[in-house]
Amino acid sequence: MGNGMNKIIGGVYVGNFRDSKDIDQLTKNNITHILSIHDNAKALREDREYLCIVASDTPEQSLVEFFPECIDFIHKARLSGGNVLIHCLAGVSRSVTVTGAYLMTATKLGWRDALNCIRGARNCAQPNYGFQKQLQEYENENLEKARAEFKAKYPDSPFDDARDCEINLKSYRHFLSTGETSPGPELYALPHRAYGDRKRGNNSSTNLVNKGEINEKLGDSPVNKESNSGNIDMNKEGKTCSDNLDGISQEKGSHSGNEDAFKGDKCDKSEESDGLSVLKGKIECACVSGENCECENS
């Protein structure tokens, strides 16, 4: 939200309120038109053409009624050779919704792909659930007619919007499948750790102990077992064992917080103990007090 405006397709940018006042960004991106949509939208500069829509960022706020006016404003700006900045306060919800409606009308994208196309260039794009529902209803109830009217009004388009959208969608899908934020020179590079906070896998409470991470502690054999005992994380030196569910961390040879949170018995087993495979030597037992300990029951 604070990384500047983002180019979605040729001539169309999405940003926040701060970006709309940043003369350096406006000049650099040749912004000639500004679509401002937020609670106190108003023209701020005399050297840009404005469309101001007063609307709140609440699920109950209707944006569909503004779609035709916004779509015309955006497309006319592009046809005139200018670039348009669409912004709200954070550049996350209202502006993204309006941009999504434009993409749906000017291309063949449905509402989901339109949002993902925007996310491919602006990772923070996330309209509230009410706006997403409005985009879905727009697709189901109004889009066919809106596209026909758009095509009749603007029969010849000089833009290759389908290609631009596919670039963004490919960029978005590439990251979701590989985790790479810079997939290649032909794609729009995403910011560092663009989706770094997203949870992967079916069980978000399960962490993997990566291969080789505890070799120094346990020996040369790698470990790649799933730990199902409440998010047990171990650093590269194998010194720290923490139970994230209880917020308790234990350093080797000492306790912090609740002294009885962990049992201090030694484990000689070379089989699975509390979800962690012990390859050689002895390690501290990580079983939580009150649970059945395989080490003790065996």
Listed residue (116, 73, 76, 68) closest to 96, CA to CA:
116
Q: Is 289 helix (H, G, I), strand (E, B) or coil?
A: coil
Average pLDDT for 22-30:
97
Amino acid in the structure at residue 229:
S
**What does 76-143 look like in DSSP terms, one character per residue?**
HHHHTT-EEEEE-SSSSSHHHHHHHHHHHHHSS--HHHHHHHHHHH-TT----HHHHHHHHHIIIIIH
Better-predicted residue by pLDDT, 28 or 213 = 28
Q: Is 223 helix (H, G, I), strand (E, B) or coil?
A: coil
Residue 209, pLDDT > 70, answer no
293 catalytic residue (yes or no): no
Domains of the chain: 6-178 (3.90.190.10), 207-298 (no CATH)
pLDDT of residue 179: 67
Highest mean pLDDT among 51-60, 206-215, 259-268: 51-60
Give me the phi and psi of 33, to 5 degrees please.
-130, 145
Average pLDDT for 117-140:
96
DSSP conformational letter for 280: S
Better-predicted residue by pLDDT, 165 or 237 = 165
**CA angle at residue 224 from 221 to 225, to 5 degrees?**
120
pLDDT of residue 135: 98
pLDDT band at 273; cut points 50, 70, 90: very low
Q: Which is catalytic among the residues 88, 117, 165, 287? A: 88
pLDDT band at 268; cut points 50, 70, 90: very low
Better-predicted residue by pLDDT, 247 or 105 = 105
**pTM of the predicted model as reported, rounded to 2 decimal places:** 0.62
Cα distance between residue 244 and residue 253, in whole Å: 19
Instruction: Give the CA-trace dihedral at 117, 121, 122, 126, to 10 degrees.
Output: 10
Amino acid in the structure at residue 18:
R
pLDDT averaged over the chain?
Answer: 74
Cα distance between residue 79 and residue 132, in whole Å: 28
pLDDT band at 146; cut points 50, 70, 90: very high
Better-predicted residue by pLDDT, 7 or 286 = 7
